[in-house]
Chains A and B, each alone.
Chain A
Amino acid sequence: MAITREAVLRIIAEESGQDVAKLVPGTKLQDLDISSIDLVSAIFTIEDKLDVTIAPEDVSPDATIDDLVDMVMARSQA
């Protein structure tokens, strides 16, 4: 799967059962209606499908959706 912003958002939406339209860039991950296990699963699936490496501890609870997407994009180019 090609790494695009949309691909990352789609995985988060699928894993958390959220409408992708609710994933507004500046929203903090902890403010989303996503359980901790769903967030860990989303990061796992991003790693799996997009072939990047992100440890769960790399993602701070204060991180925003944009922070997570930027991290995935940056690591995919590393």
Chain B
Amino acid sequence: MSRKVVVTGMGAITGLGHGLDTNWARLARGDGAIRPVEPRLWKDEPDFVMEGVAAWLHPDDVAAAMPQRDLRRLGRLDPFSQFALIAADEAVVQAGLDHHPTLANRTAVVIGCGSNGNATLDRAYERLYVDRAVRAHPQTVPSSMISGPASHIAMMLGVHGPTFVLSSACASSSHALGEAMHMIRSGRVDVAIAGGTEACISLGPWSAWRSLGVLAPDRCRPFSVDRKGMVLGEGAAILVLESEEHARARGAPILGELAGYGATSDAGQITAPQQDTIEQAIRLALADAGVDAGEPMLISAHGTGTPLNDKCEAAALQSVFGADIARSTVIATKSAHGHLIGASGALQFALGLKALAAKTAPPVLNHIATDPDCALPLALGAVPIDHGLLLSNSFAFGGLNAVLVGRCA
């Protein structure tokens, strides 16, 4: 049994704001969310100050966006769970599935996350190593465990079906959407609440990312000359996936289709991308969707803004599409919302569907000039488009590649 999988709800919270419509509106008008970070977590000691730029969320704005539901049973919530609950609430309400009987036993929750409850762990370690406390807070484990966001969504909505977090670094939520799609295609469930969440703008992971030398000091400039690296973002993007027959039977809004998924592993170097396996993931996704590489489409690039990743991705796209790539339009939304690591893939897919519906490609920000190694048909302003197809790329550290194909409604 193979069933068509449609999208009936989408939700997001990122540095661009709360709500997918808000995110789309700011993205479409070229309004970026990257700004200097504040040392909001740690003591004001020189070694503990976070410096640099990120697309971060203020805790007060997150608190204001929390679902108006009784969440007392969920325990203490790390930001990565807060983000997930906010985005899932928006998506499920839009889908008209809140309190629907299908949620109980014919629904899965599949959430991608690259790390864990970083802020909770940072506070626990601060107590132990700085304050010399004897014990960590008793909520440290349940608040920081990587599976927490999936559990919290299931608890909030009363989902009793298969519920788990899937982790593949920066490709996590693309893998989550793809695997959830297969669960629906196979008939295992009728609905999947799938996407990703990430909150890594706290001192520990911040310091670790800086040590890698991949963070840009100022801006994210995908595929541009003088690009200096990625910029971290945070937040969540969660979609409601549903079998077409289930969605139509209940008269649900159909926002688009998740039509194809391709995944490969480089089995190569731990941080450097590998072109042949990236190409293979793209080809697999197109074939899964029954799409020919000659068709024009909106391509939401992984586009991190690191010199090596962008060069490799551009070469892979040129190889797969050949001269036909000129008929497509390439966007790189991380230039606006930063790199949400495990949440990036779902956010890019959701924003890509919004772009198809609006017939507008949002601008790639901060572009200085075309890098000859990255000659792609980039949308450098808000460009009118008439594409019916979306290709959304995620290529993670560890060589984990996941590519999604979407169709407009």
Q: Give A contacts to B, CB under 8 Å.
A: 16-17, 35, 37-38, 40-41, 44
Cα A41 to Cα B76 with chains together (Å): 9
Q: Separation in Å of the B5 CB from the closest CB of chain A? A: 37
A-chain residues with CB within 8 Å of residue B76 when the two chains form the complex = 41
Q: Which of B18-26, B90-98, B137-145, B337-345 contacts the other chain?
A: B137-145
Interface centre among B73, B135, B137, B138 (most CB of A within 10 A): B138
B75→A38 contact, CB < 8 A: yes
Inter-chain contacts of B132 with A (CB < 8 A):
none
A61 to B143, CA, bound (A): 24
Q: Is the CB of A37 within 8 A of B72?
A: no
Residue of B nearest to A45 (CB): B137
**Contacting pair B139 A37 (CB below 8 A):** yes
Q: Sample 10 A-B pairs with CB under 8 A, ordered by A number.
A: A16-B72, A17-B72, A35-B73, A37-B75, A37-B138, A37-B142, A40-B138, A41-B76, A44-B137, A44-B138
A53's nearest neighbour on chain B, judged by CB, is: B134
Provide the bound-state CA to CA distance between A41 and B135, in Å: 12
Say how far B159's CB is from chain A's closest CB, in angstroms.
Answer: 19
Q: Which 9 A-B pairs have the closest CB atoms?
A: A17-B72, A40-B138, A41-B138, A44-B138, A41-B139, A37-B75, A44-B137, A37-B138, A37-B142
Least CB separation from A15: chain B residue: B76
What is the interface of chain B, defined by CB distance below 8 A to chain A? Answer: 72-73, 75-76, 135, 137-139, 142
State the CA gap A42–B280 with chains docked (Å).
Answer: 53
Distance in angstroms between the alpha carbons of A74 and B381 in the assembled complex: 69
Return chain A residues, CB-CB under 8 Å to B138. 37, 40-41, 44
Roughly how many angstroms separate A41 CA and B137 CA in the complex, as a whole number? Answer: 7
**A76 → chain B closest CB, angstroms:** 18
Which B residues touch A16, using CB under 8 A? 72
Q: How distant is the Cα of A40 from the Cα of B138 in the complex, in angstroms?
A: 7
B residues in contact with A38, CB < 8 Å: 75
- Return the chain B residue nearest A44 by Cβ: B138
B133 CB → nearest A CB, Å: 8
Using Cβ atoms and an 8 Å threshold, which residues of chain A touch B135?
A: 44
Q: How far is the CB of A21 from chain B (nearest CB, A)?
A: 16
Distance in Å from the Cβ of A63 to the closest Cβ of chain B? 18
Q: How far is the CA of A38 from the CA of B73 in the complex (A)?
A: 9
Given contacts A37-B75, A40-B138, A44-B138, 13 further A-B contacts (CB under 8 A): A16-B72, A17-B72, A35-B73, A35-B75, A37-B138, A37-B139, A38-B75, A41-B76, A41-B137, A41-B138, A41-B139, A44-B135, A44-B137
Complex: A17 Cα to B75 Cα, angstroms: 9
Smallest CB gap from B142: residue in A: A37
Chain B residues lying within 8 Å of A44, measured Cβ to Cβ, are 135, 137-138
Residues of chain A lying within 8 A (CB to CB) of residue B73: 35
